[in-house]
Structures are given as C-alpha cells and as structure tokens.
Amino acid sequence: MSYEEKFSLEDGQVLIKFARENIEFFLKNDRVIPVTEYIKEKFNDKYGAFVTLNKHGVSGNPLRGCIGYIEPKYSLYDVIHKVSISSAIEDPRFPSVTLEELDNIIIELSILTPPELIIVNNPKEYRDKIVIGRDGLIVEKGWRRGLLLPQVPVDHDRNWDVETFLDHTCQKAMLPADSWKDLDTKIYSFQAILFEEESPRGKIARKYLT
C-alpha cells in the first residue's frame, strides 16, 4: 500500500479538524485538548508531520506559522497534537496567533514519508533526481539543518526550478545558498500527503501539487 493510500480524505478531515479544535481549545484554556481514543487508535503509527497556518485571501506569502517533526519518531496523533499548538504560538518568525485570527486562517497538514539521502557524484545530478511538486528537501551540513516542504516551490505562483529550490533550502539551514554544490552537504528528499482547508473552518480537501 502506498503512502497516499494509507490516508483517505476522511482521515485528512478528521486530522485537520483535530488540529483546529486543539489550537482553539489551547487559546481559550491554555491547555491542549484531550485526545479521543478513536484518534489514538486510528492514528497511532509513527510519522513525521507539519502543520502550516496560512492567512486566507492574502496574496504573496500568506504564511502565519509552520512547525513539524521530520522523522517518524512519534505517533501521528501525538505529533499533530503538539505541532498544531507550536505552529500557532511557537514559530519564532511570528507573534502568537490570537483566537480572533483563527477566523481568517487556513490549516494545512503535511504527513511526511521518511527522508532518503540523495546520492550523487556531481551536484548537477540533483537536477534529474529532484522533482518539483513531488519532493520536499532537507539540507544538512555539520550541525546546520533546514527543510522545505514539497509545496513550497509551487505554492503562491513561485514556480521555482530545482536549483532555486536547493538554494532556498540551504538558506533555510542558515547556509550559503550554493552550499548544495559542496558534496560534503547532504541533501535528503521526502514526499508528503497533503490536506488543506479550502476556507477557514470550511471544506477540507486532499491537496495535489502536480
């Protein structure tokens, strides 16, 4: 069974509603929502996942928060339980989301496949081994590490090519943009199963990038 087949649209709807209810409950009560036994049993397998908050109806870059875990170390329900709150109040790029703001925020969920090292003999080979709209990237050099999700190079009319995607992922790792040309820099790829609200608290759909 493929990763896409492991998660139905209904699963995505349950998980995004769980993330939104968790954020709202936390902002109202300063504590996380209790997890139902159904969610614990249904989403107990371990996955990396990110919760992304985007401002609705904003042109350009609508990002309002994005936090997640890369490796599949924790149960999916536990990851979403934690990172939904983190995306709202702990993303260092933004002030905490307010309860009122949630009326104008769209929630996106990315469930990640395990990262795989891309092995090349020449950095030019990355052009053929990375597919825009399919792959997310992780750049790692020394203690520096940065990640960009598969949707980043195609969302909001960015239309990046592979080299631009690599440049930006290096910068996310606080490295020079061309660090991917150094074979000491490790590049990993992964894919994501994506679900997203079409409007705040609105219909939830599977998101396809290609």
CATH number for the domain whose boundaries are 116-190: 3.30.1490.150
pLDDT tens by residue, 46-90: 999 999 999 997 776 789 999 999 999 999 999 999 999 999 999
Given 3.30.700.20, 1.10.10.10, 3.20.20.210, 3.40.50.10110, which CATH number is that of 3-113+192-207? 3.30.700.20
Q: What is the pLDDT of residues 99-121, one digit of tens each?
A: 999 999 999 999 999 999 999 99
Q: Which two tokens stand for residue 110?
A: 């990315």
